[in-house]
Amino acid sequence: MNATISDPAFWSRLQFGFTIIYHYLFPQLTMGLAWFLVYWKWRALKTGDEKYNKAVRFWAKIFGLNFAIGVVTGIPMEFQFGTNWAGFSRYAGGVIGQTLGMEGMFAFFLESAFIGALIWGEKRLGPRYHFLATVAVAMGSWSSGFFILVTNAFMQHPTGYRIEPNGLLGIASLSAYLFNPWAFVEFSHNQMAALVTGSFVIAAVGALYTLRGMHPIQARLYLRAGTIVALFSSVLVAVPTGDQQAKMVGKHQPITLAAMEGKFAGSSMAGVALIGQPNVAARRLDNPIEVPGALSFLAYGTFQSYVHGLDEYPSSAWPDNIELLYYSFHLMITLGTIFIFLMAFANFQSWRGQLESCTWLLWILMLAFPFPYIANTLGWMTAELGRQPWLVYGLFHTNEGYSKVVSNGDTIFTLIGFIGLYFVLGLLFLYLTGRELGRGPDEEAAPSHEPRHLEAVAGVREERLV
Amino acid sequence: MIATWYAIVSLMLIIYIALDGRNFGAGMVHGFVARTPEERRQVIAAIGPLWSWHEVWLVGFGGTLFAVFPRLLASAFAGYYLALFLILWCLILRGVSIEVGDHINDRLWQGLWDFVFAFSSFLLTILFGAAAGNVARGVPLDSQGNFSMPFFTDFGVHRNVGLLDWYTLSVALFALVLLAAHGATYLVLKTEGPVHDRSVTYAKYFWMAAIPLFLVISVESWVVRPDVPIHAIHNPFCWLGLFVILVSMGTLISGLSARRESRAFLGSNFLILGLLLTGGAAIFPVMLYSTLGPENSLTAYSAASDHTSLLLAAVWWPIGFVLTMTYFMFVSRRYAAKVSLKRDTQNLY
């Protein structure tokens, strides 16, 4: 059952996994930042306070860099459905093609039309239209998330489909497909997690400037906004959305729940392991420290509820990487819990008016920003490893879905290409983002020493005003 | 219904080629028409803030194709595996070069990204041209609707073909000249100063080179697929396409000689539309022709989704189309003017 290294499905999975994990580092920040930009833009309109406009200008640059890398790394995702997963596309295209098509027509067009106007068009559009452009980009990025999560929810818990006479899937009810209960929970959970990333990054930049004693007004704004949103989103990502997500898994994918918890023997009063290493060969959790009854309660609402164990199912029905699934889930939960405590304390300090003077806390806030990225990635690994061995849960196996005509040689070649290209993209992104952070929000773009060629570019953008 | 969807996805691809084609063209010619770093920035600025919207037409096309012709997407994308990834990588490099070139004012930095921009535009045009040639010539589809194609075999056009052969390479060459001319015509419209003047000259050269090449590939296409013209003369859309080609050539020539720049660019866009309309109508209903046996070919009818999917897509697609055209009108009106080299502005905002 386990994917081996000579198996074409293994390489296609590895390539998809690598490219999607890398890709999703960028949209989670843009989705998280988008509503901050909208809020600040709105505050600027209402109060006329220039500090909000300054914040939007600064974060729009960071947003733009993320957006650009998100777009260029996102296109390969859509293509890979056809190139590496032709079997899946042929089988389920009649259903998932609907949302992938809608994503292009409704989400991508919306955000791509207004992203340039958001980043460069403040004067050209005027404050009101610039605000609308910001809203348009935010709505575009969130609706893109919605359509892609509906697609994923179908793979986790298919609804609204029918099996056509030729054995392929067709759509039976668009509303049942779009309003899949799984999609609703997954979307809420995922979007809250994106807000966690966005707010942690904003708080981290605020902490950075405070510690360096730079840009005090802006730093204060970022710290305040960042920590408040971070607290709310960290709580919401756990309760109710994460909790509901786990209940959904317990209800529709009991084998996955057992694997996530490394639970081999079914029982009532089932515990949640705080520590422990799954030993699949011996079918047990090594060195477990458990909270008794917690899993029964969390998954099914009472301590007496029976939680199924992996032993009750043939091993061919198990997810094929139980260890990685277990660690992904547990580390995500651990990080999520730490986020809540950290941000609760930060808000407490902020309420006492002592956040800016609490140096050690600022250090932690500054260095904490990578962890929401890690938690988001772990969450997706939990979802996708947990879905195995199915590509469409209960309907279609992963090893039926890959492209039979594509050789391992081809896939390994393109995987190597992606690794190389994405490494360069990553360096470029870090360098340019670091540069923007170094210049900071108070540096007005293109002062007198700014190059002439930039004026030429600015000239284009200024044209209409003259 | 299926014929309408064939027309819609073809239209989306045509819009993509016309829109992004000018960016590819501008990318290819900016080495000739822009001689200083400042002028190169001017070309990039002329491409404007909507380039990602242009690129999204490719994604929209892919998504719509997925919804209405999933079996085509499955066969073609897996079969064109390596070529598609080269296209993806070039699109990544092209997008990055446009976005990051402006970030640092340094000759080395900008020289690098200008080169990446020109090179990726060049390679993308060749790849898209060769892909168009492959659609016309056919691919080795087996009876299961699968194929897998190396980059090249014996450079012949029958049976076990590769991505590149004498025919697809000549289509790629035509695409290079056509899009270079298209891009230069766009720069004529969008720029002023020396870049504008050089673009006028190059646009004329490229359009003059495109005409004999067009005649050559027309004859070649006849040799490679003698069945197509016989079939096509009964299709009124082919005649419409030819009519569009003739009218738009007239518009283009009169626009260029009368220095009516927007007329010339309009003609250029419609010329691309006419060419692709004629081609798309001529091969209909076959979407992927099999060089191994015509009975293996994938037609619009055999590749389409079930009826319900097509109906549902017919509800949301027009809404999405109207919305995106509205955004486009809104944004592009604000960027309608020419791009100049000097402007006494103090900042980017």
Of B75, B103, B349, the CB nearest to A122: B349
For residue A180, the 8-state DSSP code is -
Q: Which of residues 112-151 of B touch A (CB under 8 A)?
A: 146-148
Of B92, B312, B321, the CB nearest to A171: B312
Of B81, B95, B105, the CB nearest to A72: B95
Encode chain B in three state secondary structure: CHHHHHHHHHHHHHHHHHHHHHHHHHHHHHHHHCCCHHHHHHHHHHHCCCHHHHHHHHHHHHHHHHHHCHHHHHHHHHHCHHHHHHHHHHHHHHHHHHHHCCCCCCHHHHHHHHHHHHHHHHHHHHHHHHHHHHHHHCECCCCCCCCCCCCCCCCCCCCCCCCCCHHHHHHHHHHHHHHHHHHHHHHHHHECCHHHHHHHHHHHHHHHHHHHHHHHHHHHHHHHCCHHHHHHCCCHHHHHHHHHHHHHHHHHHHHHHCCCHHHHHHHHHHHHHHHHHHHHHHHCCEEECECCCHHHCEEHHHHCCCHHHHHHHHHHHHHHHHHHHHHHHHHHHCCCCCECCCCCCCCCC
Mutate one of A460, A462, A463 to test the B interface: name it (highest B CB count within 10 A): A460
Say yes or no: B327 contacts chain A, CB-CB below 8 A.
yes
Of B91, B327, B340, the CB nearest to A109: B327
Burial category of B346 from C-beta neighbours within 10 Å (exposed 0-12, middle 13-18, buried 19 and up): middle
- Locate the chain A residue with the closest alpha carbon to B70: A93
Say yes or no: A454 contacts chain B, CB-CB below 8 A.
yes
Q: What's the rounded mean pLDDT across residues B320-337?
A: 84
CA-CA-CA-CA dihedral for A414, A417, A418, A422, to nearest 10? 180
Structural domains counted in chain B: 1
Say yes or no: B321 contacts chain A, CB-CB below 8 A.
yes
Find out whether A264 and A311 touch, Cβ atoms under 8 Å: yes
Q: How far apart are CA A207 and CA A419, in angstroms?
A: 33
Residue B195 lies in domain: 2-333
Q: How far is A290 from chain B (nearest CA, A)?
A: 46
pLDDT less than 50: residues of chain A: 1, 446-466
Q: Which of residues 298-357 of A touch B (CB under 8 A)?
A: none
Q: How far apart are CA B174 and CA B179, in angstroms?
A: 8
pLDDT band at B90 (very low <50, low <70, confident <90, very high): very high
Look at A82 and B78 and tell me if their CB atoms are within 8 Å: yes
- Locate the chain B residue with the closest alpha carbon to A107: B320
Q: Which of residues 58-77 of A touch B (CB under 8 A)?
A: 64-65, 68-69, 71-73, 75-76
Look at A89 and B77 and tell me if their CB atoms are within 8 Å: yes
Say yes or no: B168 contacts chain A, CB-CB below 8 A.
no
pLDDT of A223: 94
- Locate the chain B residue with the closest alpha carbon to A112: B53
Q: In chain A, what residues touch B305 (CB-CB under 8 Å)?
A: 93-94, 97, 170
Model confidence over B284-316: pLDDT tens digits?
888 888 888 888 888 888 888 888 888 888 888
Of A84, A89, A405, the CB nearest to B73: A89
Look at A90 and B74 and tell me if their CB atoms are within 8 Å: yes
pLDDT of B288: 83
Task: Count chain A–chain B contacts defined by CB atoms under 8 A.
Answer: 309
B347 found inside a domain? no
B349 found inside a domain? no
Q: How many CB atoms lie within 10 A of CB B152?
A: 14
Whether residue B89 is predicted with pLDDT greater than 70 in this model: the reply is: yes
Say yes or no: B346 contacts chain A, CB-CB below 8 A.
yes
Look at A112 and B55 and tell me if their CB atoms are within 8 Å: yes
Say yes or no: A103 contacts chain B, CB-CB below 8 A.
yes
Q: Where are the domains of chain A?
A: 8-247+321-465
pLDDT of B342: 53
B345 found inside a domain? no
Burial code of A397-425, b = ≥16 C-beta within 10 A, e = fewer?
Answer: ebbebbbebbeeebbeebbebbeebbeeb
Residues with Cβ within 8 Å of B212's Cβ and at least 6 positions away in sequence, in order, are none
Query: What rounded mean pLDDT belongs to chain B?
Result: 86
Whether residue B173 is predicted with pLDDT greater than 90 in this model: the reply is: yes
Q: Which of residues 195-254 of A touch B (CB under 8 A)?
A: none
Partners of A163 in the beta sheet?
A: A169
**Angle (nearest 5°) at CA B113 between B332 and B19:** 30
Look at A89 and B88 and tell me if their CB atoms are within 8 Å: no
Model confidence over B72-84: pLDDT tens digits?
888 888 888 888 8
Of A94, A121, A458, the CB nearest to B306: A94
- Locate the chain B residue with the closest alpha carbon to A54: B349
Q: How far is A404 from chain B (nearest CA, A)?
A: 8
Of A113, A435, A456, the CB nearest to B50: A113
Phi, psi at residue A169, to the nearest 5°?
A: -85, 140
- Locate the chain B residue with the closest alpha carbon to A83: B78
Look at A460 and B339 and tell me if their CB atoms are within 8 Å: yes
Say yes or no: A126 contacts chain B, CB-CB below 8 A.
no
pLDDT of B161: 79
Look at B41 and A453 and tell me if their CB atoms are within 8 Å: yes
Q: How far is A191 from chain B (nearest CA, A)?
A: 23
Q: Which of residues 45-84 of B touch A (CB under 8 A)?
A: 45-46, 48-50, 52-53, 55-56, 58-64, 66-68, 70-71, 73-82, 84
Of B42, B95, B336, the CB nearest to A71: B95
Say yes or no: B309 contacts chain A, CB-CB below 8 A.
yes
Say yes or no: B316 contacts chain A, CB-CB below 8 A.
yes
Partners of B286 in the beta sheet?
A: B299
Look at B59 and A78 and tell me if their CB atoms are within 8 Å: yes
Helices (H), A213-321: 216-236, 243-252, 254-260, 294-300
Residues with Cβ within 8 Å of A345's Cβ and at least 6 positions away in sequence, in order, are A361
Place of tokens 């919305």: B323
Q: Which of B117, B124, B271 is nearest to B207 (CA)?
A: B271
Q: Tell me the three state secondary structure of residue A278.
A: strand
Q: Which of B279, B32, B240, B88 is nearest to A76 (CA)?
A: B88
B339 found inside a domain? no
Q: What's the rounded mean pLDDT across residues B244-265?
A: 88
B253 found inside a domain? yes
Look at B92 and A405 and tell me if their CB atoms are within 8 Å: no
Look at B81 and A68 and tell me if their CB atoms are within 8 Å: no
Burial category of A433 from C-beta neighbours within 10 Å (exposed 0-12, middle 13-18, buried 19 and up): middle
ipTM for the predicted complex: 0.87
**Angle (nearest 5°) at CA A191 between A186 and A196:** 125
Q: How far is A72 from chain B (nearest CA, A)?
A: 5
Q: How many CB atoms lie within 10 A of CB B35?
A: 13
For the entire predicted model, the pTM comes to 0.90
pLDDT of A448: 35
Say yes or no: A132 contacts chain B, CB-CB below 8 A.
no
Q: How far is A240 from chain B (nearest CA, A)?
A: 32
